Amino acid sequence: MKVRILLGTAIVTLSTSAAADDIGTRPARNHDRIFAAEEPTPAPNAPPADGHDVVEVSRESSSSFGGDKLIAEDPPGDWYAAHAGFRPHLDTFGGLLTFSLAHGRTERFYGVVSMSAVRNDAGTHVGAMQFALGRNLSDEFIGVTQLSLAENRARTFAGVGQITLGYNRAIEHYGVLQFSAYNHDDEIGVLTQIGGYNRATDQFAGGFMIGGWNDAADFYGIAQLGVVNAQGGLWDAFDHPQDGQAFRGLAQIGVVNAASDFTSVFQLGALGSGAHRFRGALQIGGLLTWTEDFAGGAQIGTVNIDVEGGGAQLGAVNVSLEEHEGLQIGGAGNYADEMTGVQIGALANIADEMTGAQLGLVNYADRVEGVQIGLYNHANSLRGLQIGLVNHAQDGLLQWSALLNMGFDDSGFYDGGIAQR
C-alpha cells in the first residue's frame, strides 16, 4: 500500500526513459496517460487487485515521435506536498516540489520547484523552477526559469529565462532572458538573448541578441551586438534573400554584419557591413561596405560598393556598379557606371555616364553633362565645361585644350563619330 502524507513525505517510483522528439522534448508522453486502462489478465487463482498494488503494463508508446517499449508502474496518488526518489515517474503532481537523485519524470507538474541531480523531464510544467544539474526537458513550460548546467529544452517556454552554460533550445520562447553558450529558437520573443551562438530560425522579436554569432531569419528588436551579426544568414543574405524577411530595429554592431533587408538606423562593422537592401542612416565598415540596393545617408568604409545607390559613399575607394545618385568622396578614387551627383576623388574619378560634377586629379567619363575640374579631364561627349591643365573632349568646342573647354552640341551625344540623341 502506498501512503499519502500531506507534508514532508518521500515516495520512490521507478520508470524507464521516454522517447524524444526531433528537439528532444515530449519526454513524458505528451498527456498520453501511460498508466491507463490496460490491466493484465489475472492469473488463475490470483487474488483480485485492490487498485493500490503495483501493476506493470508493457505497451507501445503512442507518441508520434517514436515507438519505444516502456514498462510503467501504477503511479502513487497525486497532490503531494513533496515527492522524492531515485528515478520517480509521476502522472500529475500538485504541491511544493519533486526531487530526483537521477532522472525525474512528471507528466503534469503544478508546484514550485522540480529538481533532479541529473535529468528532469516534464510534459507540462507550471511552477517557479525546473532545475537539473544535467538536463531539463519540458514540452510546455510556464513559470520563472529552467536552470541547468548543461541543457534546457522546451517546445513552448513562457517565463523569465532559460539559463544554462551549455545549450538552450525552444520552438516558441516568450520571456526576458535566454543565456547559454548556444541558444536556438524557432520563434522567440525575449528582451535579451545572450550566448556564444544565438539563432532564431524563424523570427526574433524583442530587445537584444548579444553573442559571438547572432543569426535571425527575421529580426524585430533593438539591436544585434556580436562578433558576427546576420539577418537571413551570413551568406544567404546576399545569395538567396528571402521575401518578407527583414531587419527592423536600431542597429547591427559587430565585427561583421550582414542583412538581407535592412531597414533601421545603422550598421557598424569593424571589418565589414553588407546588406542586400539597405534603408537607413549609416552603413559603416572598417574595410568594406556592400549593398545591392542602397538608399540612406552614407556608406563609410575603406572600400564602399553598391549596385544601385542613393546617398553618400565616403571611403578610400567608392564603387557603384550600375547607378548612383548622390555623392562619392574617395581618398583614392571613385567609379560609377551611371552617376548623378558629385564625384570627388584625390586621384581619379571614373564614370560611364556622368550628370553633375567630377573633381579630382584625373576625371574620366564617356558622357558628361556638367563640369569636370582637374589636372586632366576626358570626355567622349561633353555637354558642359572642362576646367584643367589638359582637357580632352571628342565632340567639344576643341578636342584638346588647356585650362578651359566646353561642349554645347544640341545634336546629341558623340559616340565614335555618330551623334546620338
Q: Which of the four pLDDT bands, split at 50, 70 and 90, describes residue 41?
A: very low
Q: Which of the four pLDDT bands, split at 50, 70 and 90, describes residue 23?
A: low
**332 part of a folded domain:** yes
Q: Does 110 share its domain with 170?
A: no
pLDDT one-digit tens code per residue, 61-112: 333 223 333 333 445 455 568 888 899 999 889 989 999 999 999 999 999 9
Is residue 353 a contact partner of residue 366, using CB atoms and an 8 Å limit? Answer: yes
**174 part of a folded domain:** yes
pLDDT for residue 13 is more than 50: no
Q: Does 175 share its domain with 229?
A: yes
Average pLDDT, the chain: 82
Is residue 309 a contact partner of residue 322, using CB atoms and an 8 Å limit? Answer: no
pLDDT at 20: 36
Number of H helices, E strands in the chain: 1, 20
Task: Kindly write down the DSSP assignment for every residue of 229-249, as one continuous string.
Answer: EEES-TTHHHHSPPTT--EES
3-state secondary structure of 404: strand
**210 part of a folded domain:** yes
Q: Does 245 share its domain with 360?
A: no
pLDDT one-digit tens code per residue, 386-418: 999 999 999 989 999 999 999 986 655 445 544
Q: Which of the four pLDDT bands, split at 50, 70 and 90, describes residue 47?
A: very low
**279 part of a folded domain:** no
**391 part of a folded domain:** yes
Rounded CA gap, 353 and 369, in Å?
Answer: 8
**285 part of a folded domain:** no
Q: Does 229 share its domain with 363?
A: no
* Integer angstrom CA distances of residue 98 from 9, 13, 143: 10, 12, 15
Q: Does 4 share its domain with 121?
A: yes
Share of the chain above pLDDT 90, in %: 71
pLDDT one-digit tens code per residue, 186-222: 999 999 999 999 999 999 999 999 999 999 999 999 9
The pTM of the full predicted model, rounded to 2 decimals, is 0.77
Examine the fold and report which residue of 108, 123, 156 is the final residue of a domain before the chain moves on: 156
How many domains are there within the chain? 3
pLDDT for residue 269 is more than 90: yes
**269 part of a folded domain:** no
Examine the fold and report which residue of 113, 132, 156 is the final residue of a domain before the chain moves on: 156
pLDDT one-digit tens code per residue, 167-188: 999 999 999 999 999 999 999 9
Instruction: Quote the distance between the C-alpha of residue 390 and its chain's center.
Output: 54
Q: Does 136 share its domain with 184?
A: no
Rounded CA gap, 55 and 39, in Å?
Answer: 8
pLDDT at 63: 32
What would the grid cell of residue 22 be? 526531433
Q: Does 14 share its domain with 149?
A: yes
What count of residues does the chain have? Answer: 421
Q: Does 313 share its domain with 382?
A: yes
User: In DSSP terms, which residues pair with 104 in a beta bridge?
Assistant: 120
Question: What is the pLDDT averaged over residues 126-138?
Answer: 95
User: Which structural domain range is residue 235 located in?
Assistant: 160-264
- Report long-range pairs for 396-405 (Cβ below 8 Å, ≥24 apart): 405/377
Q: Does 123 share its domain with 9?
A: yes
Q: Does 164 share its domain with 150?
A: no
Is residue 203 a contact partner of residue 188, using CB atoms and an 8 Å limit? Answer: yes
Is residue 172 a contact partner of residue 187, using CB atoms and an 8 Å limit? Answer: yes
Q: Does 327 share its domain with 368?
A: yes
Q: Does 202 share its domain with 127?
A: no
Examine the fold and report which residue of 107, 130, 156 is the final residue of a domain before the chain moves on: 156
